[in-house]
């Protein structure tokens, strides 16, 4: 199959492209490299076509989708805190960019795999782990814009028959995640440890997240591409890990004792969240297989060997 991966030079996108190449698929990577990195593609750049452009450029999108069988849409503004500071920018990337893609393929039969978000869409669920039937209550512009993207995709399906799968991942982590970004607490913490800097904790450290390893997410993308189903699926482990527990695991893996700096909670951050992925297991045969200790160990090995961090 010929696949387009938007945001392909990013953390998750580059892992997905590698996985697609393993199965001998043809891949086009579309990325504006504002957060994606050329070094993420250094081992595969000769095996793919790279288009450097913004997803809000409709003319480029028209060129990129020629003869495409499947689109994996990962390009996004992913920072909750930035969405609070700059909601207009967040909406322009996450909603306008989404509509550009959908309008370009509405008359064809391109499969659309949308990497949405779990925690930011459900907000503060009444019970955990949250399932796909949990009420959607975004508490940040980021969660709201990703949910709006889902609704546009569903509308394009109802009107034009566009086939799709929506994946709502938990907090993804793994090698290549930017330790200097505003999202991805595990990578941020590992980057701080490598520099012998204190770890900033927003709140009292009891906030929980569901942490899912990047390779597990790429496997779900592959299953979604080959499935004939049209539906929305959570992608998480089902377990809540609070920040203090996470730091204990990180200290064990890195064989270090860290300093903690407690800060005020940030607006838009969810307090407690985990995702129930039973539906994905029943319909796609997917479940997360990497436990958090093993995943952080693999991530730390990458951090330790990367001289640029």
Cβ atoms of residues 102 and 56 within 8 Å? no
Cβ atoms of residues 289 and 216 within 8 Å? yes
208: left (phi over 0), alpha (psi -120 to 50) or beta: beta
How far, in Å, CA of 260 to CA of 158, rounded? 50
**Structural tokens at position 228:** 């004939």
How far, in Å, CA of 233 to CA of 216, rounded? 14
Given the residues 114, 122, 142, 213, select the one marked as catalytic: 142
Phi, psi for residue 30 in degrees, rounded to 5: -115, 120
Cβ atoms of residues 128 and 272 within 8 Å? yes
How far, in Å, CA of 25 to CA of 4, rounded? 10
Residue 142 appears among annotated catalytic residues: yes
> Catalytic residue positions?
142
């Amino acid at each position: 199959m010929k696949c387009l991966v938007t945001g392909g030079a990013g953390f998750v996108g580059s892992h997905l492209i590698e996985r697609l190449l393993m199965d001998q698929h043809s891949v086009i990577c579309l990325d504006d490299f504002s957060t994606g990195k050329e070094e993420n593609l250094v081992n595969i750049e000769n095996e793919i076509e790279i288009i450097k452009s913004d997803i809000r450029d409709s003319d480029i999108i028209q060129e990129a989708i020629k003869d495409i069988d499947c689109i994996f849409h990962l390009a996004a503004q992913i920072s909750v805190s930035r969405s609070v500071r700059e909601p207009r920018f967040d909406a322009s990337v996450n909603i306008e960019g989404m509509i550009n893609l959908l309008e370009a393929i509405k008359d064809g039969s391109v499969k659309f795999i949308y990497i949405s978000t779990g925690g930011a869409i459900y907000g503060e669920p009444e019970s955990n782990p949250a399932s796909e039937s949990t009420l959607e209550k975004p508490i940040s512009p980021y969660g709201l814009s990703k949910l709006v993207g889902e609704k546009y995709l569903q509308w394009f399906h109802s009107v034009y028959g566009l086939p799709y799968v929506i994946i709502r991942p938990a907090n993804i982590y793994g090698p290549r995640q930017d330790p200097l970004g505003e999202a991805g607490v595990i990578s941020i913490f590992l980057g701080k440890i490598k520099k012998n800097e204190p770890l900033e904790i927003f709140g009292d450290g009891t906030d929980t997240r569901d942490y899912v390893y990047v390779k597990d997410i790429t496997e779900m993308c592959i299953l979604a591409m080959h499935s004939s189903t049209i539906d929305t699926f959570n992608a998480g482990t089902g377990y809540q890990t609070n920040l203090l527990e996470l730091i204990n695991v990180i200290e064990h893996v890195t064989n270090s004792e860290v300093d903690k700096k407690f800060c005020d909670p940030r607006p838009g951050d969810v307090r407690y969240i985990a995702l129930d992925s039973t539906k994905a297991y029943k319909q796609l045969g997917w479940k997360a297989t990497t436990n958090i200790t093993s995943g952080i160990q693999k991530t730390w090995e990458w951090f330790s060997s990367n001289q640029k961090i």
